[in-house]
Amino acid sequence: MKTFPTEFAELLTPKGRRILEGKDPEACGVLLRPGHRFVALSGVLDARKAVACRELLEKALRDTLTQMEDAIPPESIWGMTENYAELLPKTVRVRTALLESRRSRSWKAAEAVGLVAMMRSESFAAFASSVSGRALRRKWGIQALCYGPGDYTGPHNDHHPEDAEAFDGYVDMHLTFATPTVAHQWLVYAKGGHFSEMRSVNTVGGITVYRLPFWHYTTPLMAKPGAEEDARRWVLLGTFLDAPREYRRGTAIEPPPSVARPG
C-alpha cells in the first residue's frame, strides 16, 4: 500500500462491511441506545492494511506536526480562595496535523499520500452514520493527532453550547494506529455521573465512536521501557454534525435503512 485507498470502505474486514451496510445489529445504531455514548470497535479494519496505514502516517506526517499544549494553570491552585473549590479547565498535550487549511505542510503531505481523500470519502462518513444511527451533514471536519510518550488529554466534555449546530450533540469517529512500542493508553469516560468506564486505545486499527458531549479523558501514553523514541499513537479523527431535522435528499449521509433513527 503506497497510498491510502480512495474509499475508507476498502480498509474494512467483512465485519466492518457488515457494519457499514447496516447488517450488524450489535454495532449499528448502538449510540442511539439510552446510556450508550461511546463504543470501541475491533476487528473492523483489516489488520495488515491497518499496519500499512500506520507506516504511511509515520512516513508522511511525522515531520509536519505541530504541538498543541494547554497546561494546568498555576492559578487553578494558587488563585483559590476557598477549600475544595478547585476547577480544572481542559488540559492537553498532543501533536496535531491540521487538515483543514490547504496551505499547511500537513495538508500537503496528507493530500499527497491520499489521506485527505480517504477521510473525505463517502464511506468514512457512512460508517459513522451507521454506528451512530443518525443522518449526518455532508461537510465534516477531519484532523490527525499523534500522541507521544506522556501526551494525554485531561477531563473535558466537548460540549459546544454556543454553536447552534452542535449544542444538541454531535458525533466523533477516531481511527487508532499505535506503534508496537506503546505500552498502554486508556480512554476513561463517565457513565452515570462517575468516571467508571475505561477502554484501551492501544490498538492498531481500532475504531472509537462518540456521541458527544460527555465527560472523558485520555491517559498519558506510556512507552515500553527504553522504547520512548518509537512510541506513538496516531489518531485519524472525523467530526460530524447532525443533519438538520429536515433536509433535501442527497444533502446528508444517511444510516442504512435497517438502522433505526430517532423519531
Point out which residues bind Fe ion (CB under 5 A).
158
How far from 235 is each of 109, 136, 210, 225, 261, CA to CA, in Å? Answer: 16, 21, 14, 23, 28
Rounded to a whole number of angstroms, the minimum distance from the CB of residue 208 to Fe ion is: 10
CB of 220 to Fe ion, least distance (A): 15
Q: At a CB cut-off of 8 Å and minimum separation 6, what does 81 contact?
A: none
Residue 142 identity (one-letter amino acid): I
Q: Which of residues 88 and 260 has its CB atom nearest to Fe ion in the complex?
A: 88
Q: Nearest approach, Cβ of 218 to Fe ion (angstroms)?
A: 8
User: Residue ranges of the alpha helices (H) in the chain?
Assistant: 14-20, 47-61, 75-78, 105-112, 115-119, 122-132
Residue showing cell 484532523:
143
3-state class percentages of the chain: helix first, strand second, coil last, to nearest 5: 25, 30, 45
Least distance between Fe ion and beta carbon 114 (Å): 26
